[in-house]
Copies of this chain bind each other. A is one copy, B any other.
Amino acid sequence: MSNQSQIAVKMILDLWNSRLKATNEKFSNLTDEQLMQEIAPGRNRGIYLLGHLTAVHDHMLSILDFEKQVCPQLHETFITKPDRAVAEIPSVSELRGFWKTVNEKLAEHFSKLTVDEWFQKHTLVSEEDFVKEPHRNRLNIVAGRTVHLAGHLGQLLLIK
């Protein structure tokens, strides 16, 4: 571990925390009714993006080898299938609860990792591939998910 790798970890975690904070602010400012609106005509509803982001972050608990997923049942409804494809979906209030729990669990695990542990492989890559592709590490998952979150936050900001 060098000073530079420590700095790189801080950079990526700062970005993650900043986008998560901005997303939480937006979700807090939107009522349950507003989250039933579409981000643009014919596009995803706010509730779908809340469920989608929750399912993606929940999956990180497993990809980062932290613990069992909290709400794996959301995967089918909010990742595999598009908005409105599933008739019965959880309420906004239930999803808000999952969203909070999942991100709190991630934060707790993040706070315990050493720099070297951030550069360890994640669970979607094999030992053999990781030798050749050492960038497929835990930190890269967080960097990629930060970019993913930013993309959807850009859309959520369009809900009035």
Question: CB within 8 A of A7: which of B3, B119, B148?
Answer: B119
Question: CB within 8 A of A154: which of B10, B134, B154?
Answer: B154
A14 in contact with B119 given A4-B5, A5-B4 (CB within 8 Å): no
User: What residues of chain B lie closer than 8 Å to A8, measured between beta carbons?
Assistant: 4-5, 8, 139
Q: Does A144 contact B (CB under 8 A)?
A: yes
- Chain B residue with minimal CB distance to A42? B160
A147 in contact with B150 given A3-B134, A5-B5, A135-B14 (CB within 8 Å): yes
Number of copies: 2
Identify the A interface with B (CB < 8 A). 1-5, 7-8, 10-12, 14-15, 19, 39-41, 43, 115-116, 119, 134-135, 137, 139-140, 143-144, 146-148, 150-155, 158
- Given A4-B5, A11-B140, A151-B154, output 20 extra A-B contacts at Cβ < 8 Å: A4-B4, A4-B119, A5-B8, A7-B135, A7-B137, A11-B135, A14-B135, A15-B144, A19-B147, A40-B41, A143-B143, A146-B147, A147-B147, A148-B150, A150-B150, A150-B154, A152-B154, A154-B155, A155-B155, A155-B158
